[in-house]
Structure 1
Amino acid sequence: MSDSDATTELVITRIFDAPRELVYRAFTDPDQISAWFGPVGWSVPRDSVEVEAKVGGHQRFTMVNDADPAQTSPVETTFVEVVENELLVGEEDVSALPDFAGDVMRMRLEFHDEPGGRTRLVLTQGPFSREVVEQARAGWGSSFTKLDKTLG
């Protein structure tokens, strides 16, 4: 296997200055998803968001490039594990998308209490090719900056 064929998981840990229930809700409430999701320069129209936060349920929405609304990125995840205010695990079929290292991308979001009413979020996502993982890290970092403002 060449180095460009290697795969990796993205792991990000971030502390949010908000209680765990509010951070969890930011990932499951359609109004909140449309308010923060997507890196800077992208938005999520509220009418594109559907969430059914239960095992077998889904999270669907479309990110739209602010500068070129013809450029879109649909997301359609099926939840395989859900523990309210603690855990969201979803899988997305990415077999038709270029630059992904597998047919299914898995995302795990763990929500942990931190002192002072804060929340530690641990995001694990992949598999990604090594070339794409850093783009994903930057995208999440930008999105989480928007989430900080939404929670604040």
Structure 2
Amino acid sequence: MSRDPGESMVAGPNTLTIVRVFNAPRELVFAAWTDPDRLAAWWGPAELHTPRESVSIDPRVGGEWSATMVMDDGSAEFPSAGTFSRFEPPSGFEMREEATDMFPFANTMTVSLDEVENGTRMTIVQHFATESFDFGDSIVGWGSSLEKLRALMTG
């Protein structure tokens, strides 16, 4: 699988920045985040899936977003939910996720989509409301989730 040399995943003390380039128009990449059918097709790392019926997206500022990742063997579920604080199709959005019992770290995720030659550069910045955060599992999870997104964009 060929990677653009401009792709990266960099973790700081409380911020993870991911850059990926897709050979797809940014409208399609934006729809992969904001259309429930498309999000369910790629959201979640390897060994997890996101049932379509668990995905709800109200695509507007103040609108809510939720999805539940499920282990493929059914042994655990991982719900996530947020509220859009910025929503600007097709250039991106910002969403705030509150802390939950399962994931006690509030965070803000900004997704920016820029047109580049032959495709779209996607930049995700996930900032946690804590002094530091262990991004080990997040890096692995985002990596395999984004491979699913890449397959969806090229499929």
TM range (shorter): 0.7 to 0.9
Q: What is the CA distance between 1:8 and its match in structure 2?
A: 1.4
Distance 1:7 1:54 in 2: 30
Looking at secondary structure, tell me which structure has more helix per residue.
Answer: 1
Distance 1:98 1:63, change over 3 A: closer
Q: 1:73 aligns with which of 71, 74, 78?
A: 78
Instruction: Find out whether 1:61 has 2:67 as its counterpart.
Output: yes
* Aligned mates of 1:18, 1:142 — CA distance in 2: 19
Amino acid at match of 2:31: R
1:1-150 matches, cutoff 5 A: 7-67=13-73, 69-98=74-103, 100=105, 104-116=106-118, 118-127=119-128, 129-131=132-134, 133-150=135-152
| Distance in 1 (alpha carbons) for counterparts of 2:53 and 2:100 | 26
What count of residue pairs does the alignment treat as equivalent? 141
Structure 1 length normalisation: TM-score? 0.87
Calculate the aligned-residue CA RMSD, in Å.
1.6
Matched-pair identity in %: 33
2-side partners of 1:34 and 1:142: how far apart? 14
Residue 95 of structure 1 and its aligned partner are, at CA, apart by 4.8
Q: Secondary structure at the residue paired with 1:109?
A: strand
User: What is the alpha-carbon distance in structure 2 between the residues aligned to residue 13 and residue 150 of structure 1?
Assistant: 17
Identify which of structures 1 and 2 has the higher relative contact order when contacts are C-alpha pairs closer than 8 Å and 6+ apart.
Answer: 1
Q: Runs of 5+ in structure 2 lacking a partner? A: 1-11
Structure 1 spans left out of the alignment, 5+ residues: 1-5
- CA distance in 1: counterparts of 2:76 and 2:20, whole angstroms: 29
Please tell me the residue identity of whatever aligns with 1:85.
P
What TM-score do you get using the length of structure 2 for normalisation?
0.85
CA distance, structure 2, for counterparts of residue 97 and residue 50 of structure 1: 19
